[in-house]
């Protein structure tokens, strides 16, 4: 059996054959116009050998064989014409030197490149047309017909990308609320109506899927589009958000499932980056809990601001390894140091501060799981209170410029041990700020989407397993924001703070957890209560139906940033505060939880313990100003 010819060799043989044919046709046409001339033009002459050798060399020189017939286009046709003209010039020069162009009329050199360009270009374009027609025929039966919501730049780019590659999607039309686009075409595909027409248009055009191509849409707009898509009963996808494209986490033309973050996130945060850079650029920064959800994102954002050095304190060996590896890859010139220790290890922290001499500290290390900490008072107090005191004291002792305590909305009128301990940490930082050169700032915010241990990944796992999705109470609400947004506002608060403030982040409108669960179920194409059951388990110990960001006595006011509010500090008698914290430290050391409850109640007289755990004979901590519940 004869060996098959390589496709590239077949193309070369085809083109060389077309060279001979073009030269023969050019001479034959010329002689046919001469009355009485013999039009027989033999191939086997030295003249044809010269033509073949020279033109083949020019083809190789112009890179004609680097292109593929499958993707032949106008640039390829231009390259063919250029090669034919250059070849004709060299052929004419060579034959003139060889035999003074004997037997070759000058007009042949003019007609030859035109004929050669036609003989080479037409087969290439015909082949591409055949392949495209064949592909479209195959796709028409197997590809999914899609309707794109948005005929803007993102929709245009998405449609162009789907048409260019051998995609399993075929664009049937666009929808856009811009009435000026009605009836127009994008890449030959019609704009069929507005977004409100999606149900009618989708059913009339028989599409299989909807694609939302509006990366700059606000969360309210996304919720509207998702609701319209859900009403059609068809599956739908979206392109990444603009912030993910800008940061390099995704490509504009990627197609992904709509995530709950797309619906609960807010408009992009506008930050005073000049002020943030003045606070952090060129500074030595320490971040505790830098391997956690908030701490790791803080590390990413701080690393982009040109800090002199970044030191991460982390108790989890794996989390420290993960954030160090990520930062060394993304910021190879960053002076990074990972310290494997507890933020409450006073000896290790003192040694660290003496060596690093940090200028700004972000204290994100804390326990945060409310139900677990409800029965772990000692650990909650040790980590959330005493560790904060160790870090704050070190910042004061070594003259840090700023210290940011990352707190929680659960510290307002706390009903849980976790919230109570975070509130005590706030009190200590606020009062220490009055006696220190260091600017101590506290930042409060609510739940963070997709943070470790939060409700979103829990619901996602429960849905993946087929349910049930567990919700504590049908009316329970929580505030939500994305991790990047929370960290950006933390940085802005650090730049705004002058010492002693509690900044609360604007969390938008509270979200019913029941609604969150139902929306996450619908985003998977299933029906809440039908395909995936929702079970109400009752409020857990320490949980509230709703969270607060301010205490009524804190007299909160607006700041220069629209999403950051300021509450006034509530100062207490310093010596009494230190005495209660010292006795609390001794109770932790001796594992005396009764004594520890006594000290917590003295610090927070309004805090209500669980049944049977209320300590007796408590002397409340005396306040200097703003008398009231903590």
Same domain, 124 and 186: no
Whether 263 is in a domain gets the answer no
Same domain, 565 and 493: yes
Q: DSSP for 573-612? A: -HHHHHHHHHHHHHHHHTT-HHHHHHHHHHH-TT--PPTT
- Quote the number of domains for the chain: 3
Q: Give the structural domain span for 76.
A: 7-137
The domain boundary residue, chosen from 229, 258, 287? 258
d(C-alpha 548, C-alpha 478), whole Å: 9
Indicate the pairing of strand 564-567 with strand 502-505: antiparallel
pLDDT tops 90 at residue 572: no
pLDDT tops 90 at residue 79: no
Tokens 């075929």 label which residue?
170
Whether 156 is in a domain gets the answer yes
Whether 609 is in a domain gets the answer no
Same domain, 254 and 278: no
Same domain, 334 and 457: yes
Same domain, 22 and 164: no
pLDDT tops 80 at residue 217: no
Same domain, 177 and 293: no
Whether 619 is in a domain gets the answer no
Same domain, 85 and 149: no
How high is the pLDDT of residue 612? Answer: 38
The model's pLDDT over 419-469, given as tens digits with 9 standing for 90+, comes to 999 999 999 998 998 899 999 988 887 776 666 656 777 888 888 888 788
The domain boundary residue, chosen from 103, 137, 171? 137
Same domain, 313 and 459: yes
Whether 630 is in a domain gets the answer no
The model's pLDDT over 125-166, given as tens digits with 9 standing for 90+, comes to 787 777 666 555 444 555 678 888 887 777 777 777 777 665
Q: DSSP for 41-63? A: --S-SHHHHHHHHHHHHHHHHTT
Whether 446 is in a domain gets the answer yes
Whether 11 is in a domain gets the answer yes
Same domain, 133 and 150: no
CATH of the domain at 386: 3.40.50.720
Q: Which residues pair with 145 in a beta bridge?
A: 170
Same domain, 350 and 238: no
Same domain, 205 and 64: no
The domain boundary residue, chosen from 258, 292, 325? 258
Same domain, 235 and 280: no
pLDDT tops 50 at residue 617: no
Q: Which of the two residues, 490 and 384, has the higher pLDDT score?
A: 384
The model's pLDDT over 338-360, given as tens digits with 9 standing for 90+, comes to 999 999 999 999 999 999 999 99
- The rounded mean pLDDT for the chain is 80
User: How would you class 112 by CB atoms within 10 Å of its CB: exposed for 0-12, middle for 13-18, buried for 19 or more?
Assistant: buried
Whether 474 is in a domain gets the answer yes
């Amino acid at each position: 059996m004869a060996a098959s010819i390589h496709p590239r060799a077949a193309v070369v043989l085809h083109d060389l054959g077309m060279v001979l044919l073009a030269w023969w046709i050019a001479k034959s046409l010329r002689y046919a116009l001469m009355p009485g001339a013999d039009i027989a033009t033999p191939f086997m002459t030295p003249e044809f050998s010269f033509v073949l050798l020279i033109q083949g060399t020019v083809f190789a020189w112009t890179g004609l064989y680097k292109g593929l017939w499958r993707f032949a286009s106008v640039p390829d046709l231009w390259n063919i014409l250029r090669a034919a003209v250059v070849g004709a010039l060299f052929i004419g020069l060579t034959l003139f030197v060889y035999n003074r162009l004997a037997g070759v009329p000058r007009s042949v050199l003019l007609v030859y490149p035109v004929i050669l360009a036609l003989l080479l270009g037409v087969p290439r374009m015909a082949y591409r047309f055949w392949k495209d027609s064949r592909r479209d025929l195959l796709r028409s039966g197997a590809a999914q017909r899609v309707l794109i919501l948005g005929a803007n730049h993102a929709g245009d780019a998405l449609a162009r990308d789907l048409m260019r590659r051998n995609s399993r999607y075929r664009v049937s039309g666009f929808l856009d609320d811009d009435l000026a686009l009605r009836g127009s075409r994008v890449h030959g595909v019609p704009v069929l109506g507005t977004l409100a027409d999606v149900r009618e248009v989708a059913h009339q055009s028989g599409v299989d899927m909807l694609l939302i191509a509006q990366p700059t849409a606000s969360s309210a707009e996304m919720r509207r589009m998702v609701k319209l898509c859900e009403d059609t009963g068809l599956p739908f996808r979206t392109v990444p958000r603009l912030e993910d494209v800008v940061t390099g986490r995704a490509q504009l033309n990627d197609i992904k499932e709509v995530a709950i973050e797309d619906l609960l996130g807010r408009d992009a945060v506008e930050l005073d980056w000049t002020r943030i850079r003045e606070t952090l650029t060129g500074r030595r920064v320490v971040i505790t809990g830098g391997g956690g959800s908030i701490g790791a994102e803080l590390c990413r954002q701080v690393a982009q601001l040109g800090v002199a050095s970044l030191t991460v304190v982390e108790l989890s060996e794996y989390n420290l390894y993960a954030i160090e590896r990520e930062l060394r890859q993304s910021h190879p010139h960053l002076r990074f140091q990972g310290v494997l220790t507890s933020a409450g290890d006073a000896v290790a922290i003192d040694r660290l501060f003496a060596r690093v001499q940090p200028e700004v500290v972000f204290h994100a290390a804390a326990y945060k799981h409310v139900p677990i900490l409800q029965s772990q008072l000692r650990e909650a107090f040790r980590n959330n209170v005493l560790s904060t005191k160790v870090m704050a004291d070190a910042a004061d002792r070594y003259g840090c410029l700023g210290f940011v305590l990352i707190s929680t909305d659960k510290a307002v009128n706390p009903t849980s041990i976790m919230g109570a301990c975070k509130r005590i940490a706030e009190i200590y930082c606020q009062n220490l700020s009055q006696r220190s050169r260091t600017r101590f700032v506290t930042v409060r915010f609510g739940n963070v989407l997709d943070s470790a241990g939060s409700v979103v990944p829990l619901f996602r796992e429960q849905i993946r397993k087929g349910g049930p999705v567990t919700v504590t109470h049908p009316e329970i609400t929580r505030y939500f924001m994305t991790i990047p947004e929370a960290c950006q506002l933390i940085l802005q608060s650090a730049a705004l703070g002058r010492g002693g403030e509690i900044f609360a982040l604007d969390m938008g409108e509270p979200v019913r957890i029941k609604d969150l669960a139902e929306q996450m179920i619908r985003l998977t194409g299933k029906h809440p209560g039908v395909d995936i059951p929702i079970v109400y388990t009752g409020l857990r110990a320490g949980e509230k139906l709703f969270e607060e960001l301010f205490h009524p006595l804190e007299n909160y006011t607006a700041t220069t940033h629209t999403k950051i509010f300021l509450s006034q500090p509530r100062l207490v008698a310093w010596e009494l505060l230190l005495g209660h914290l010292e006795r609390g430290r001794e109770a932790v050391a001796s594992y005396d939880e009764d004594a520890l409850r006594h000290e917590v109640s003295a610090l927070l007289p309004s805090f209500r313990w669980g049944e049977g755990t209320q300590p007796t004979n408590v002397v409340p901590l005396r306040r200097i100003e703003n008398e009231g519940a903590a």
